[in-house]
Amino acid sequence: MTCPTVILTARWPKPVEAELMSRYDVTLNHDDHPFSTRELQQALRDFDAVCPTVVDPVTAEVIATEPLRCRILANFGVGLNHIDLEAAQSHGITVTNTPGVLTDCTADLAMTLLLMVARRTGEGERLVRAGNWQGWRPTQLLGTKVSGKTLGIIGMGRIGQAMAKRAAHGFGMNIRYYHPRAVDPAILTGMTAEACDSIDEMLPHCDFVSLHCPGGAGNRHLIDARRLHLMPSHCHLINTARGDVVDTQALIQALKEGRIRGAGFDVYENEPHLSPELTRLENVVLLPHLGSATSETREAMGFRVIQNLDAFFSGQSPPDRVV
């Protein structure tokens, strides 16, 4: 039997690449360059399996390439808003992702952003590194207390729940949340947590708002100028979900005008191309999409992809099949 051919659009952790190469005919992206549209189309023409990441726009145009050889898009990551799922389904391509394994590390990073923006640690580090710190002063870089405050969570899936546990059990925060479906009460044990009927109802009562909802057309600019106006002026916005969930220009204006106090972001619209206006603001913490960036998690994501490929090529339904 001919060994299935697989192409990776990015470098993966070495143990995962080695395991994948022991099972399949694998083509690596040795210089880790971003794939162009033409390269993605070529990959779908030449390989049985294509393994994209969040930075690869697998659009309807890409999927419509002919002749189409690809039978499975085994995504390295959970989010799928970079893949046109309807186009994949219409062309008979299976799509999988890697849920669950990155929950804790992404929630850890969301909490990191919350603490950093509340306590102005990014500003403080820049001050020290620039050699401009002149010693302790009673009024220097006064931030916001985190313990006991109210955290609003939009999206109480795996990562939202993990964030709630960290905030409630670690910092005694009160939780308000919006989720389109009921949340198992057992998950909220030991928390002061309240479900809200709508995002608009929740926002005015929050000291911090953390986004953990899917990206894509349905949630594009979910946080817009109107909703930023609903937040108290002392509120901080945290985004580890997807960049398109927030209207960047509306956020910049709100931060400039003091309509919210600060923001911590790990994801962006049109990343890695950030608005210069955003990077010039001091009351934001900006990280380069590090949510799942630990050796343990990235390896687990890769091995989850292998599980999906193994199931697919053995004629079984992949455990993380989306389409």
Does some domain include residue 323? no
3-state secondary structure of 24: coil
30 annotated active-site: no
Whether residue 274 sits in one domain with residue 220? yes
Per-residue confidence (pLDDT) for residue 3, from 0 to 100: 96
Whether residue 97 sits in one domain with residue 107? no
Question: Which residue among 69, 179, 289, 321 is the active-site one?
Answer: 289
Low-confidence ranges of the chain (pLDDT < 70): 1
Question: Which residue among 194, 271, 277, 299 is the active-site one?
Answer: 271
Does some domain include residue 177? yes
Per-residue confidence (pLDDT) for residue 262, from 0 to 100: 98
187 vs 168: CA distance, rounded Å? 12
Does some domain include residue 240? yes
82 annotated active-site: no
Whether residue 302 sits in one domain with residue 240? no
Whether residue 155 sits in one domain with residue 76? no
Q: Residue 63 is part of which domain span?
A: 5-101+295-313
197 vs 201: CA distance, rounded Å? 7
Whether residue 253 sits in one domain with residue 143? yes
Whether residue 183 sits in one domain with residue 57? no
220 annotated active-site: no
Q: If we measure between CA atoms, which residue out of 67, 74, 80, 93 comes closest to residue 26? A: 74
φ, ψ (nearest 5 deg) of residue 264: -130, 120
Whether residue 92 sits in one domain with residue 114? no
Strand partners, 174: 150
Per-residue confidence (pLDDT) for residue 216, from 0 to 100: 87
Task: Give how many domains the chain has, as a whole number.
Answer: 2
Question: Which residue among 212, 242, 259, 261 is the active-site one?
Answer: 242
Does some domain include residue 321? no
DSSP per-residue letters across 151-212: EEEE--SHHHHHHHHIIIIIH--EEEEE-SSPPPGGGGTTS-EEE-S-HHHHGGG-SEEEE-
Does some domain include residue 322? no
Does some domain include residue 268? yes
Per-residue confidence (pLDDT) for residue 1, from 0 to 100: 60
Whether residue 122 sits in one domain with residue 261? yes
Could you tell me how far CA 320 lies from the centroid of its own chain?
18
Does some domain include residue 222? yes
Whether residue 129 sits in one domain with residue 190? yes
Whether residue 277 sits in one domain with residue 301? no
114 vs 57: CA distance, rounded Å? 29
Whether residue 111 sits in one domain with residue 48? no
Does some domain include residue 318? no
pTM: 0.95
Whether residue 251 sits in one domain with residue 108? yes
The enclosing domain of 215 has a CATH number of 3.40.50.720
Q: Cβ neighbours of residue 263 under 8 Å, at least 6 residues apart?
A: 117, 236, 237, 238, 239, 251, 255, 283, 284, 285
